[in-house]
Structure 1
């Protein structure tokens, strides 16, 4: 849309060379185009813009004029902040008044915007300064993270301008900042805290509607802070309505996990990643009475000394256990974990080191398994798999991917019979496996289908 003709602008500013040359080739200048959108009300224009399926198009539309910029800003509900001054100046809340989801972590770190070094994983993404290799073991130094007072000022501006926030990601926030955010944003339901210590968690008790929390104390190679039993206890006493909790790089012990289980009685999903827990912490899981899903990820050790079996207890309502990128060489810790989770119906093991036949034999404690997924378990053999899956009478879903010691040629008649009655079968233990391709169209792997029987 051309809002103003150059030739009819009435400006006394002389034309540039390129402009004059352009006009010489157009003897009939383009007349001013009428702004048809000016006759439409804001409500009607918003309704038109809201029908655009691509959210990125709102950014392009906002460049047309100031009116469109304000209207399109009302339709944007989720952003990732890169410039702290944009928040602290108040322009963010003015431009995007209807925000419900914001991540201000990237803007909380002083970095060179034009840096070609990008650090990224599923929890964190930031550009790094060129002198990153001179750091003290961490890619993000303490002096590169905005101080807590600056963070508090920004949080105040954000909370006063965007009171309808539902989800937020913060870094190095203090108790004061969390308290103010809780007072202003009563609808907040999901929070992610980076570089947060024990004392800051005292302010989390005011979030009455908080249901999902991701707490990141230490991120290996990136930054380091301490979240111990003290912080976990404050968290447990303040967030009694939590449904989903993720602890990343947190210290603690049996006491912290017990406090979470006893106070957060609505907790249904717990994720523990890269933990630095003291020995015996597994026993605290039994206090999570309504826990349905347990995820343990990227842990170097499950529990070196879980203690006697009679003190372990069990999670009676637990349905799913997910183990990803964990070292499972400690037999006592693995056996204790399986004993606590013995009521599960679904087991997922992905890229875990040390899971051999003797370790997997501890899975016989599971009596109600209906679904098994194994991926990247290179030490497990066909015999080790068969001895367990044939023990589970209710198994109806099986997935085996990239387990190189499980061979098609070693499938026994008993195992092939099991394949024939499964509701779902995904079998690709290695790149040479031909069973999965040969099963297509045969009915094997479906309930009531044919089986692979040896003659």
Structure 2
């Protein structure tokens, strides 16, 4: 019957809640449902499990309001780096009150950061270093304080995951409130918080279910706090991250090794950690799966122990190591048979022999990144190609000694390779790319930057053989031209393309992409001096799903080309067009008026008219801002 509310009459609360849970990935749909009626608004709030909050106003009032509206929240992310300026006097989102200094509310059901609407931001007045001027001319902090944490502990006693990112006004006092009332806490991220030992000790005593702890840049902590936590949470702690904590030394890690038998992940970045601390963890934590080290005072002795004791290790990352050699890596290859992911960055004393030990011993390897290890060359990578058939991702950055011949073995032996990243590898050219294209036909992502020996021949081979390729980036490879893009357009259905700085590419190559890649969503054609309006017109007609485009430094682009582009690309969200002399204020106005989903336009300030500022000031970003 027309006008009869069948849904609210027939469906119980439980079923409507279940429907809302299936909309977890679509915040706009959930928001639309909450506007249907008061019942749906109430039920939709009950289904929310995660809040993301930027710099807040009055912490006590703010948290109290949230706790009354969202009763089933289990995860809260505070990140005081999130702060925006909204010049529009009448924002389209719901505020907590009519006051101009009230924070704006954006809430996410899942833990992921969406695109433009899943955070709680401060009001426009808080953009200046977290301070806002009140009516009396004084400045009020918009940072989360201990009072806010106390209110959070009272309002969300069932909290399981809490992130406090760069909340500089939080201290041990607030953390003690959390510890005493949120005893179900499993995950705690204190990155950039100046909390002390008393607060961390309270967490150790009260939160007996804690599994994940991040202490990056917590400068106020010493060994005493972490030791207390290890005593209290030793049975449950699975993940620990420590970085730039000058007063945390080997003593803390020795306590972790003695009490945290379930530890699976350890991430350390410290100049004050030596062998004894990491050795204690390697010897005392048999379940260790992930080990990330940036500790300049750790030597081969530690890696040898890792190789002989950490048989469950799957992920090893070694950054800026200057005191260990192939001997340590050989021990890892001998003992860590389950290793799948290896990152070697700025490890100057490693050579081909160490990498060969990994290749022959760790045949389950799937991900390998070598960054700035100047003594690793062709022979080492050949060994990977011969012995690691499960490799799916390979990244080589600043590897000047690795040549084309190594890729013959990779092409022969690593048929499941899906992603290849090459940056500043001067000895790698078309022969290497051809070997990969012919042997690794499952390739989906190819990123090449400043590899000047790579040209049309290699990219044409990719277009002919890698039919599953969806992500191609060939930045500043100045030998790549139109013929390469024509082959890609014929053979691949790209979603992401970056050809920034490939100055031989003209309209002809980009037209081939427009006609052959209708699913393209992201495009960077910056610094292409020969690209003109004809290419933009073809892109508009052929790539209607385009969401991001970078046109900066394209001197032949004009307002005419932009108008053709946005006529069909109505899903466009981001457009960068600085240093485009043919683009005027009229072209900028055309972009913001024709694209209802636009969120960011980067352009010179003088090209934005007053009318455009009034209409879409919140999405305009300027290359230069007034000081």
TM-score over 0.5 for the pair: yes
1:95 equivalent to 2:35? Answer no
- Structure 1 Cα separation of the partners of residues 378 and 86 of structure 2: 52
1:332 equivalent to 2:306? Answer no
- Structure 1 Cα separation of the partners of residues 370 and 434 of structure 2: 18
Residues 58, 142 of structure 2: 8 Å contact kept: no
1:358 equivalent to 2:366? Answer no
Deviation of 1:200 (Å):
2.1
Match of 1:198 in 2: 197
Structure 1: segments with no counterpart, 5+ residues: 1-31, 116-121, 133-142, 219-224, 443-455
Q: Pairwise mapping of residues 14-413 of structure 1 onto structure 2 (< 5 A)?
A: 39=9, 41-52=12-23, 54-56=25-27, 57-82=29-54, 83-85=56-58, 88-89=61-62, 90-106=64-80, 113-114=85-86, 129-130=127-128, 146=143, 150-151=145-146, 153-170=147-164, 171=167, 173-194=170-191, 195=193, 196-205=195-204, 206-218=206-218, 225-240=219-234, 241-251=236-246, 252-272=248-268, 274-280=269-275, 281-296=277-292, 299=294, 301-303=295-297, 314-323=308-317, 326-328=319-321, 330-332=322-324, 336=328, 339=331, 343-345=335-337, 346=339, 348-350=341-343, 352-355=345-348, 358=351, 361=354, 364=357, 368-372=361-365, 373-377=367-371, 379=374, 380-386=376-382, 395-398=388-391, 399-402=393-396, 403=399, 405-409=401-405
Match of 1:453 in 2: none
Bigger relative contact order (CA 8 A; separation at least 6): 1
- Structure 2 Cα separation of the partners of residues 48 and 110 of structure 1: 31
Q: 1:282 to 1:176 in 2, by over 3 A?
A: same
- Structure 1 Cα separation of the partners of residues 303 and 212 of structure 2: 32
- Structure 2 Cα separation of the partners of residues 112 and 71 of structure 1: 30
- Structure 2 Cα separation of the partners of residues 351 and 307 of structure 1: 18
Deviation of 1:254 (Å):
2.2
Aligned CA-pair RMSD: 4.3
Deviation of 1:363 (Å):
6.6
What TM-score comes out, normalization by structure 1 length?
A: 0.66
Q: 1:307 to 1:255 in 2, by over 3 A?
A: farther
- Structure 2 Cα separation of the partners of residues 311 and 348 of structure 1: 19
- Structure 1 Cα separation of the partners of residues 120 and 15 of structure 2: 38
Deviation of 1:95 (Å):
1.0
Q: 1:354 to 1:183 in 2, by over 3 A?
A: closer
Deviation of 1:242 (Å):
0.7
- TM-superposition CA deviations, 1:312-341 (whole Å, max 9, x none): 9953334224226x223x143785576578
Deviation of 1:159 (Å):
2.8
Match of 2:509 in 1: none
Residues 396, 421 of structure 1: 8 Å contact kept: yes
- TM-superposition CA deviations, 1:100-122 (whole Å, max 9, x none): 1111233xx7966449xxxxxx9
1:438 equivalent to 2:410? Answer no
Q: How many residues align?
A: 372
Deviation of 1:78 (Å):
0.7
Residues 415, 439 of structure 2: 8 Å contact kept: no
Deviation of 1:79 (Å):
1.2
Deviation of 1:261 (Å):
1.1
Name the larger-Rg structure: 1
Residues 351, 377 of structure 2: 8 Å contact kept: no
Moved more, 230-239 or 154-163: 154-163
Deviation of 1:145 (Å):
7.6
Q: 1:308 to 1:178 in 2, by over 3 A?
A: closer
What TM-score comes out, normalization by structure 2 length?
A: 0.50
Residues 197, 221 of structure 2: 8 Å contact kept: yes
SS in 2 for 1:39: helix
- TM-superposition CA deviations, 1:346-372 (whole Å, max 9, x none): 263447124565376377389741234
SS in 2 for 1:256: helix
Q: 1:312 to 1:192 in 2, by over 3 A?
A: closer
Deviation of 1:185 (Å):
2.9
Residues 254, 283 of structure 1: 8 Å contact kept: no
- TM-superposition CA deviations, 1:413-437 (whole Å, max 9, x none): xx84x97566745685656321111
